[in-house]
Structure 1
Amino acid sequence: MYQNILVINLMQIGDLMLTTPVLGALRKAYPQARLTLLADTRWRDLVECNPHLDACLFMDKKGADKGLANLWKFIRKVRAQKFDLVINLHRNERASAVAAFSGAKYIVGYSKPLFSLLFDQTLQNPSIAHHVGWGPGGIFPPHKYVPGWEHQVHAHLNVLRQTLGFEPEDGGLEMALSAENQQKADNLWQEHFAAEDKVIAFNIGASWETKRWLDGYFAQCADRLLAKGYKIAFFGGPMDLAIVERCISQMKHKDSKDLHIFTGKVSLAVLAGLLQKCCLFLTTDSGPMHIGVAMNLPVITMFGASPVPGFYPYDGRSVLLKSPEECHPCGIHKCPRAGEENLACMKNIPVAAAMHYVEDLLEKFKAKPAYELPAHKGDYQCRVIEISKGEF
């Protein structure tokens, strides 16, 4: 029986959120164990109040812990905690090194080659794309992009199943807020909205251009919803400010008092607190999408370059829209196609299609805020809608 467990995930916002079911499953299986999570310090808001954790370790990858010497200092801190089980859920060199040299009695999970020699058991991650071949071009064949074929949550839970020998309970995505951050969200909401307001959340930014639905399309959706009496809240980080400004500049109702801009103004924890008061989330494939799912908020999302099986919103009430482009999913950050074919995967998801499902979900859930919607444990497969040309 393991008494001191470390889970490692040093990836981005969405990836970290998709690790949270593992924490609940481990707590259920080892109720007396001390459970610690190692994550990127930038995302501490997401996990520091997780009810299944006893402690968190945070690595400042871009600051104090950057570089080989500082990485080794960090590893020494990990070794000092004398973990008897380490589970690595991030297959890169840094995370693999921390796990491999942790000094734990049993080390399992994903690993880069060489580091895997110090693991007791390693597995492939079937949610992550693989590049097969030598490329690019020339006398060698180009890389072949093979998208992931299993959701990341399922892949992570399978690590527990295969290496620890128990059937993990899947409690879905979770996020808890401190009383302070909950109060900040409550106060901000009261400053902007009345108790009877029905608010639709928008997140239009994403880490890749090919993950972004057209900002003009988002603008049309916002105009239509404002005309129906809904309030609109734009979210996103500081890097999304220019995109949001460009979107709003295309709106007919850009000066509406019912349009509220939170982009670049709130922490991830306060974002979560605000999302749980909204009644629907129109979003790209992004970290905030997964935060919305964790806060029980129905999502409508558009997938372009992203592989659907690996990263769909983990929520049976949500809807994912995709167009039947031959190149989907490509996993490319910038679309190589020219002219009208550039970003065709996003251009061919029309506003009418998105609004059809927006209206469907608003009617189905009576535009109630997320915190009033019932839990739906075990119902995690979203609806995937492939849009046919000319359908809308």
Structure 2
Amino acid sequence: MHLGDLMLMTPVLRTIRHNYPAAHITLLADLKLADIVQENRHINDCLFIDKKGRDDSFLGILHFARRLRKNKYDLVINLHRNERASALAALSGGKRIVGYAKPGFSLMFDHVSPDQNLIMHEIHSHYAALRAAGIIGELDDAGLQMWLPPGAEETAERLWEQHFSPGDKVIALNIGASWMTKRWIADYFAVVADTYLVRGYHVAVMGGPMDVEIVDACRVQMRERENPRLHIFTGKVSLGVLAGLLRRCILFITTDSGPMHVGVAMNVPVLCMFGASPIPGFYPYDAKSISVRAPVPCHPCRIHECPLSREEHMKCMKQMPPELILKYADQMLAENGEKPACELPRPSDFETRVVEQVDGGFILSPKGAAGRVVRPVLPKTARKQ
């Protein structure tokens, strides 16, 4: 139902195809995300639901479920946890229905899977769910995958040639996120952008139409806001074109967001700041990535709006200063030789490295830290929600 959710489905689709090479596999997704799924080579068909348009009602869901029932599916797998997805699966008429389900709808499921993304990555949670239901055996995990729709690569190449010259080093930023509590501080992004512009790098700001105001507010804080090496693509390109631009960048500094996972699929090194969401569940699925963990007891709260006030408000993000992010961004640039993502080898290991606070300072933790469970201590106002 969301961009990040669909990107995290791509290794699962590959594994399902590996286990059922002759099956006819159909993916149901949100219409606005058609760009990123309809070219997937592991499925046969796509069905699209207009969840913010004609299908955005109880009757709309019932009408869509009638369409599903006509296809007489042998197996229906639900890998999204909300009410709409649970209802569509429950009413699909599938001979067997498995996956995640909200209470009530679970009565129609043959096997209901627990939510485990607090203790393991979402992809691994999906694998565990399908194994427990007896759906898959052997895994075939090649990481996140995305194939660009027709014309998107050509458009991305044309835009790149308009904005950049051969040999330009381009760092991408993604400032927006669906939750306020996933957004790093705009002033901090401004410092990072200014620093790299002064050093002679180009900075490409990504994001969708909903991020335009956030980006504008950040740009106002920048000293280098009129620098010709600053390029704003926010709200101006499709998801497919955004992906085509990212595969030409040397680094992607981003919030925990859908575009972050697109960047992983495009093989760009990702540096991600985590506030409300748990690193074990949603880290960038690539070992060359680095994830920074908020050094506060209420992380990960999984709350959309921070309940704290004054200097405590959004303290998880405030305590990850720009100097910290620049330190590890520079490390990643050195590690990868400042090569564009399209020239880097694809990963064979998918666990992120984690920067976290230890004994008053930040360190890059050894492999395995991404899976470490952090028990949040929530403020009283948050516990009531």
For residues 211-230 of structure 1, the aligned pairs below 5 Å read 211-230=182-201
* Matched residue, 2:162: 191
1:23 aligns with 2:13: yes
- Whether 2:51 is the aligned partner of 1:61: answer yes
Q: Does 1:262 align with 2:246?
A: no
Q: Report if the CA contact (8 A) 1:349-1:387 is conserved.
A: no
Quick one: distance in 2 between partners of 1:61 and 1:275?
Answer: 28
Q: Percentage identity across aligned positions?
A: 53
CA-CA distance at 1:391 after TM superposition: 5.2
Aligned counterpart, 1:125: 115
Alignment CA distance shift 1:184-1:52 (3 Å): same
Paired residue for 2:281? 310
Asked if structure 2 preserves the Cα contact closer than 8 Å seen for 1:160 and 1:168, the reply is: no
- Specify the SS of the correspondent of 1:38: strand
Partner of 1:244: 215
Measured after TM superposition, the shift of residue 188 of structure 1 is 0.9
> Where has structure 1 moved over 6 Å in runs of 4 or more?
none
Gaps (5+ residues) in structure 2?
Answer: 364-385
1:309, distance to aligned residue in structure 2 (A): 1.0
In the TM superposition, residue 186 of structure 1 has moved relative to its aligned partner by 0.9
Aligned to 1:343: 314
The equivalent residue for 1:233 is: 204
Change (3 A) 1:337 1:53: same
Following TM superposition, by how much is the alpha carbon of 1:349 offset from its aligned partner in structure 2, in angstroms? 0.6
Equivalent residue in structure 1 for 2:340, among 348, 354, 369: 369
Q: CA RMSD in A?
A: 1.4
Q: Measure the CA separation in 1 of the matches of 2:242 and 2:173.
A: 12
- How far does the alpha carbon of each residue in 1:88-118 deviate from its partner, in whole angstroms, 9 at most, with x for none? 1112222122212222221111112222222
Retained in 2: the 8 A contact 1:25–1:171? no
Q: Does the Cα contact within 8 Å between 2:184 and 2:273 map onto a contact in 1?
A: yes
CA drift of 1:390 comes to: 5.5
- Match of 1:179, SS state, is coil
User: What is aligned with 2:372?
Assistant: none
Q: Which residue of 2 aligns with 1:160?
A: 130
List aligned pairs for 1:252-331, cutoff 5 A: 252-331=223-302
Q: Is the 8 A contact 1:78 1:102 kept in 2?
A: yes
Distance in structure 2 (CA, Å) of the matches to 1:310 and 1:52: 24
The DSSP-based 3-state class of the residue aligned with 1:34 is: coil
Gaps of 5+ in 1: 1-10, 128-147
Q: Report the residue type matching 1:158 in the other structure.
A: A
Structure 1 distance, partners of 2:342, 2:37, is 19
Q: TM-score, normalised by structure 1?
A: 0.89
CA contact (8 A) 1:41 1:59 kept: yes
State the alpha-carbon separation in 1 of the partners of residues 322 and 83 from structure 2: 42
Give the whole-Å Cα distance in 2 for the aligned partners of 1:165 and 1:350: 43
CA distance in 1: counterparts of 2:311 and 2:107, whole angstroms:
49
The SS at the match of 2:155 is: helix
Q: 1:300 to 1:165 in 2, by over 3 A?
A: closer
When normalised by structure 2's length, the TM-score is 0.91
Partner of 1:8: none
Give, in whole Å, the separation in 2 of the partners of 1:305 and 1:93: 22
Task: Report the secondary structure of 1:309's partner residue.
Answer: helix
The offset of 1:165, in angstroms, is 4.7
Map of 2:120 onto structure 1: 150
| SS of corresponding position for 1:107 | strand
1:14 counterpart residue number: 4
TM-fit CA distance, 1:69 = 2.0
Alpha-carbon contact 1:321-1:387 (below 8 Å) kept:
no
Deviation at 1:169, TM superposition (A): 2.0
Give the AA of the match of 2:355: I
Question: How far apart, in 2, do the equivalents of 1:230 and 1:237 lie?
Answer: 23
CA-CA distance at 1:175 after TM superposition? 0.6
CA contact (8 A) 1:204 1:218 kept: yes
Q: What per-residue deviation string (whole Å, max 9, x for no partner) do you get for residues 197-229 of structure 1?
A: 110000011112211111111111111111221
- Corresponding residue number in structure 1 for 2:172: 201
The number of aligned residues is 361
Note the C-alpha offset of 1:42: 1.2
For 1:95, which of 85, 100, 104 is the aligned residue?
85
Q: Distance in 1 between matches of 2:309 and 2:103?
A: 38
1:24-43 residue pairs with structure 2 within 5 A?
Answer: 24-43=14-33
For 1:165 and 1:53, locate their aligned partners in 2 and report how far apart those are by CA, in whole Å.
Answer: 16
AA at the equivalent of 2:160: W
* Cα 1:116–1:391 shift into 2, 3 Å: closer
Which range moves more in the overlay, 321-330 or 364-373? Answer: 321-330
Q: CA deviation digits over 1:236-279, x for unaligned, max 9?
A: 11221121112112112111110000011011111111100101
What is the distance in 1 between the residues matched to 2:186 and 2:281? 25
Q: For residue 352 of structure 1, what is the aligned residue in structure 2?
A: 323
Where does residue 84 of structure 1 map in the other structure? 74
CA gap of 1:323–1:112, structure 2 versus 1, over 3 A, is closer
1:142 aligned partner = none
Aligned-partner SS, 2:218: helix
Contact 2:194–2:224, Cα closer than 8 Å, also in 1: yes
Cα contact 2:114–2:129 (8 A) shared by 1: no
CA contact (8 A) 1:313 1:382 kept: yes
1:384 maps onto 2:374 in alignment: no
Does the C-alpha gap of structure 1 residues 344 and 95 become closer, same or farther in structure 2, counting only changes over 3 Å?
Answer: same
Q: Secondary structure at the match of 1:157?
A: helix
Q: Per the alignment, do residues 123 and 230 of structure 1 end up closer, same or farther by CA in structure 2, a change over 3 Å counting?
A: same
Q: Deviations over 1:271-329 (max 9, x none)?
A: 11110010100001111001100111111111111111111111111011123211111
